[in-house]
Structure 1
Amino acid sequence: MKDLQRPELLAPAGNYEAFLGAISAGADAVYLGGQKFGARAYADNFDTQQVIRAINYAHLYGRKLYMTVNTLVKEEEFDDLYDYLAPFAQAGLDGVIVQDFGVWGFVKEHFPNVELHASTQMAVTGVYGAKLLKNMGAVRVVPARELSLQEMIDIKEKAGIEVEAFIHGAMCYCYSGMCLFSSIVGGRSGNRGRCAQPCRLPYIVHGGLSQSTNDRNFSASDNTSEDDEYYPLSLKDMCTIEIIPSLIEAGIDSFKIEGRMKKPEYVAGVVSIYRKYIDKYLEDPKAPFKVDPKDLDVLRHLYLRTEISQGYYQRHNSRDMVTLSSPGYSGSDDRLIASIRDMYLTGEKKRNIEAYGYFHPGCESMLTLSLGDVSVTVSGQVVQEASKRPLSKEDLAQRIMKLGDTFFELRKENLTIDMDESDPGIFMPVKEINELRRSACERLLQELSGKA
């Protein structure tokens, strides 16, 4: 067996809680949308400060963050695009997922350090499309979901580009980026992030359906009329947990979970199960691979439609892929949701750090912060001799340990203060101590994020 690479597990996030749940549950990377230019205009989405905080938090834990700019952009909107993306690029955004070729050229010109990922909205269906995008600077391509596993392998091997593939979640009836159905029937364009999902609505099938259908919700014993109402455009949701070994062996670089419109419990729960089975297979590829029925049941009850399929990876255009009679979501058990919240949706987790402070009269104040093998030192104002009440170690410790809204936590036993305690003692304005602490925290975060 050839050496197997560990695929990136890529999770969706429609809000900050879902983002935190994805990180906590084991996602290697998260993709999200801001307030503009995203294909999920009706998700909560992130404001500028939330995106920047998410970038910093992801990097703190060695994860990546990608941003969707995957709608078609009008000429007059390009004036806003630079100001929109600049803060995220400056914060260390890892990649931008793009549909519009104009946006592609714009990002490549103005933000050359940000990776370009070709969205599934580009409808890449073969090797030549992937090669074209690679020559245009693409690091990664998200091929159309309609491709077989072998077609994915061909793109990976013959185009020589990273491949990101959907492994779980809702599926469109049409090639992404090529559908005009919502625009025509309701004036809401999927290519502008406003799809009304008319494919999920019931339609009258004139003449009824052939009773030879293999759909398990429809059999020859059903009473049907010539004009029956069905959901002929509503595809079953994708769930590939049982073919994870095949996807890993195919060399797919990133396993993508759909669902920026879905709840944080869905994100955390689905990520945790795929994390479990990806790691399980890679730990011992020769061992029999079997999914616990309880885990499969959890996936079925986390905001998936009543039926699931494995997508197009191992079959093409089967009638069994359509949920003809029941496209709604299955219910989720309250106890399951509560357990996911208790385990993964517990807010930001702070990292414990160590600190060393140096405070001697006539010398610059210095503060060193350390996390693992990463250490930073910053200098501040020159320490003065006290003319009245000198600062004590307790005074300094109280100020240095006040980390507030940062991602760090400093315990007293991890703080060492080197200071002159002889008469007349030392003095530093509180403002300067606070600035020293703030600068050190910012520098440590930069080092941990690789942005220094």
Structure 2
Amino acid sequence: MLSAMPAAQPLAASVPAVAPALARPELLAPAGDWECARAAVENGADAIYFGLERFNARMRAHNFTHADLPALMAFLHQRGVRGYVTFNTLVFADELAAAEEYLRVIIAAGVDAAIVQDIGICRLIRQLSPDFPIHCSTQMTITSAAGVAFARDLGAQLVVLARENSLADIAKIRAGGEATSTSLPLEVFVHGALCVAYSGQCLTSESLGGRSANRGECAQACRLPYELIADGEKVDLGDRRYLLSPQDLAGIDVLPDLVRAGVASLKIEGRLKSPEYVASITRVYRTALDRVLGAPTAAATPRAPESASPAAADPHYELQMAFSRGLYTGWFRGIDNQALAHARFGTKRGVFLGTVAHVGRETVSLRLAAPLKPGDGIVFDAGRPDEREEGGRVYQVVVAGDEATLHFGHGDIDWRRVQAGQRVWKTSDPALERELHATFAGEQIRFQRPLHLEVHGRAGTPLTLIARDGRGHVAKVASALPLTPADKQPLKLERLRHQLGRLGGTPFTLGDFSSLLEGDVILPVSELNRLRREVVAELDRQRAAPPRWTLVEAASRATSWSASTPPRAASAPVATQSAADGPDVVAVIRLPEQLEAAWSAGVRTLYCEFENPKHYRTTVARFRELQATDPWSDRSASSIWASAPRVFKPGEEWILQQVRSCAADGYLVRNYDHLAFFAADRKRGDFSLNVANPLTADYFLARFGLERVTASYDLNLAQLEALLQSAPGASFDITLHQHMPMFHMEHCVFCAFLSDGKDYRDCGRPCETHRVALRDRVGAELPLKADAGCRNTVYNNRAQTGAEYASRLIALGARHFRIEFVNESADEVARTLGRYQQLLRGEISGAELWRELRLINQLGVTRGQMETAPQLLSRPHS
């Protein structure tokens, strides 16, 4: 039933205004190519963001080239629009020199900022330029005031918050920053596709096909169908199979709240979308934002006469037609796991038209829930969106009473596949598409921004015209002729406003105007026209000139280890290991019962990650008992480490306190709050810090006193070797065996599909009573776990091993190798750890262990992301 589908919340067609004293946020639009850039500019974007050929998180977009930058930035700046380059991927050690050259081009071209994910790249930018703006990408997974403070310490000017932050979180983040004087302007995504996983923490495409989301190659596995397996049995969810595919974000209803919250930038997602999409979403939010601020749109793009269409009056309609998997406010209003993902499809649908009542001869009849006209495209929804669906152009619409009969062209539809009860969606509105295309086609300037003018002078002196564009540019020109006394028709305010405000064909429309002329004076109209043209030309010249950022000489570059790093932070005594020591095994356990198996296998360093933080106390206590009863154990050579949840959000301090209360020997740092909370403890960096190059590693080790950091899971063998060649190998934990943690998400599958609750307060905690997995299209059952913050992680069901590469890594100085487990039995844990210890002692070869693991593991093993040549993962249409 359609009523069971928690589809889009109603979006306000008329968004209320808020107090005019509040700051005006920037409207930031995506641009995958020149047409998209023009679409954004002509429909009111204050800024655009775009990628270049490399180092951006949308490598499937057309993207610009570095050779385009001068012309693109001149175009944007002349139109009063800022341009930000997305440099938002991890950068590997062997790419740092190329990254530096790219950054030099970007800075010299006068780009307004770079949007950056990699911490090492932030450091590199600051070495190259002390003043070039850095915007920390949402890929940095910043969810708290501590994350903002971390970004500020890196030298950033703005932070793009995680999409999972609510309005309440944003308020707490701002308050926390202001209380500690570590605040920065905040940017949030306001519209577009929602990633189900935390950006920067999704390893799904890497795990399944060697295509890293952290490298701009996401294969969108979240948009595929899955079955829910609980305690070994398939859960009947009806036609809900897209369990990880959220509805698209539409923040138009919460614009007043975002403005009140002081958000500095509102970001539209969509660098892979068409220019018509960019035009549509930008103009809808431009109009709505200006209405919120109580100001008219600077120069609203006029609609075509034919647009007595729903789009003219209903922003909801236009947003759905642009692209929609269902529209929802995302996490802005808090967590509602029942509404986030309706799970019925993962592809574009559009506007819901109704349900088929009758099927005739090449016709269907239904009660229309939205306008429809001949030429519109529709699709019949049979509840199997992964199969070919019937649909086509409507030839005729015949209305009789409250029911409409739709006629189609002969042979356009296979009527055997259309049945009563199927939902019908409007997927195409050609009239709206033509209207949108007309907003940016050609070279015509359509969107104009206010130009503030004032005139000075008196009889016998020139008339001086001063123009300000509101972006810091000021132009002043003086008339060639002096003002003369006027016998009649003096230059009164309205006459000046009319003559100097004739700004058609320019990027400007007349804003504030003031006349400070003394007495009744006159000047020829031709001279007024010349003044207007000259002042506009001068502003054009000023605006086209690129910002002049400081750029140091190449000799000052900082792409090596320990480059201009502050002294090591004070911390507890650190146990060190020299490169001459032999390699050791670190066991990562996720079930308390795996502890004794690891100990019995001879492993003396354990990392624990438990769903329930209460298990840390009992596990540490048992570890102490094992230490005390082992006559051969040197307690200083054994240690147990606890890890708090991978993501921290405001209000979750209790979880950190509970984890620390276990009195472990040390703690795994997994986010920016852990750096601060565990500052006085022994600590090591987990994989979630995304350490992919020596600059990032050095920053965590030297500035925050981490003993070691875990090498990023995005590194294949060649990239891992490059990292070890550029930094001391003993500084890293290398994960040699694991079930890759794929999706890490705020979306709780347990709550959404095993309860009727919205969140932890009313879900009944099914995560504590059921063992759950997601079964994918090839039958693989992927384990699902929840943490103390109710966030879910989906793990690869097949273990991956780097056993064949261990000797190469040891030769490069690696000494610490993580062997990770999820749901393995005690026997499996002990056997696996024993064999890896033999491998590291040289008693068996990597090839032998590889063959053995393939034989004894029911599902086999994979080499995972360490293989240099990835197998590409098929992806659905976006």
- TM-score, normalised to structure 1, is 0.72
8 Å contact from structure 1 (residues 30, 65) kept in 2: yes
8 Å contact from structure 1 (residues 153, 252) kept in 2: no
What amino acid does structure 2 have at the position aligned with 1:273? Answer: V
2:92 pairs with one of 74, 81, 94: 74
Partner Cα separation in structure 1 for residue 145 and residue 20 of structure 2: 23
How far did 1:2 drift?
8.1
The 5 A counterparts of 1:12-411 are: 12-159=30-177, 160-206=183-229, 207=233, 209=235, 224=238, 230-283=241-294, 294-305=314-325, 307-330=326-349, 331-347=427-443, 349=445, 374=475
Q: 1:98 to 1:13 in 2, by over 3 A?
A: same
Partner Cα separation in structure 2 for residue 443 and residue 297 of structure 1: 39
Q: 1:233 to 1:284 in 2, by over 3 A?
A: same
Q: Deviations over 1:155-202 (max 9, x none)?
A: 223222100000000011110000101111111100011000111111
Q: Which runs of 5+ in 2 are unaligned?
A: 1-18, 178-182, 297-310, 350-426, 449-466, 478-506, 508-525, 531-536, 549-878
What amino acid does structure 2 have at the position aligned with 1:332? Answer: S
Partner Cα separation in structure 1 for residue 447 and residue 340 of structure 2: 45
How far did 1:447 drift?
5.4
Partner Cα separation in structure 1 for residue 185 and residue 340 of structure 2: 28
How far did 1:82 drift?
2.3
- TM-score, normalised to structure 2, is 0.38
Over the aligned positions, Cα root-mean-square deviation in angstroms equals 3.1
Q: 1:375 to 1:349 in 2, by over 3 A?
A: farther
What amino acid does structure 2 have at the position aligned with 1:9? Answer: L
Q: Deviations over 1:257-309 (max 9, x none)?
A: 00001111101110001000110111179xxxxx986221010110222x111
Partner Cα separation in structure 1 for residue 475 and residue 70 of structure 2: 21
In the alignment, what sits opposite 1:10? 28
Q: 1:208 to 1:134 in 2, by over 3 A?
A: same
8 Å contact from structure 2 (residues 279, 439) kept in 1: no
The SS at the match of 1:10 is: strand
How far did 1:326 drift?
1.4
Q: Deviations over 1:415-439 (max 9, x none)?
A: x99xxxxxxxxxxxxxxxxxxxxxx
How far did 1:58 drift?
1.2
8 Å contact from structure 1 (residues 125, 147) kept in 2: yes
Partner Cα separation in structure 1 for residue 445 and residue 215 of structure 2: 35
Partner Cα separation in structure 2 for residue 146 and residue 20 of structure 1: 30
Q: 1:443 to 1:85 in 2, by over 3 A?
A: farther
Q: 1:277 to 1:443 in 2, by over 3 A?
A: closer
Q: Deviations over 1:108-165 (max 9, x none)?
A: 1113332011100000111111111112211110111111111112222322210000
Q: Which runs of 5+ in 1 are unaligned?
A: 212-223, 286-290, 353-369, 377-406, 408-412, 418-440
8 Å contact from structure 2 (residues 225, 241) kept in 1: yes
- Between 1:253-262 and 1:133-142, the stretch displaced more is 133-142
8 Å contact from structure 1 (residues 124, 144) kept in 2: yes
8 Å contact from structure 2 (residues 167, 334) kept in 1: no
In the alignment, what sits opposite 1:381? none
Q: 1:248 to 1:444 in 2, by over 3 A?
A: closer
8 Å contact from structure 1 (residues 24, 344) kept in 2: yes
How far did 1:351 drift?
12
How far did 1:325 drift?
1.2
Partner Cα separation in structure 2 for residue 52 and residue 93 of structure 1: 9
8 Å contact from structure 2 (residues 240, 342) kept in 1: no
8 Å contact from structure 2 (residues 57, 88) kept in 1: yes
Aligned length: 357
In the alignment, what sits opposite 1:431? none
Q: Highest Rg: 1 or 2?
A: 2
Partner Cα separation in structure 2 for residue 449 and residue 136 of structure 1: 28
The SS at the match of 2:267 is: strand
How far did 1:350 drift?
10
Q: 1:136 to 1:208 in 2, by over 3 A?
A: same
Q: 1:176 to 1:451 in 2, by over 3 A?
A: closer
What amino acid does structure 2 have at the position aligned with 1:296? Answer: H
Q: 1:209 to 1:257 in 2, by over 3 A?
A: farther
Partner Cα separation in structure 1 for residue 208 and residue 334 of structure 2: 31
8 Å contact from structure 1 (residues 123, 175) kept in 2: yes
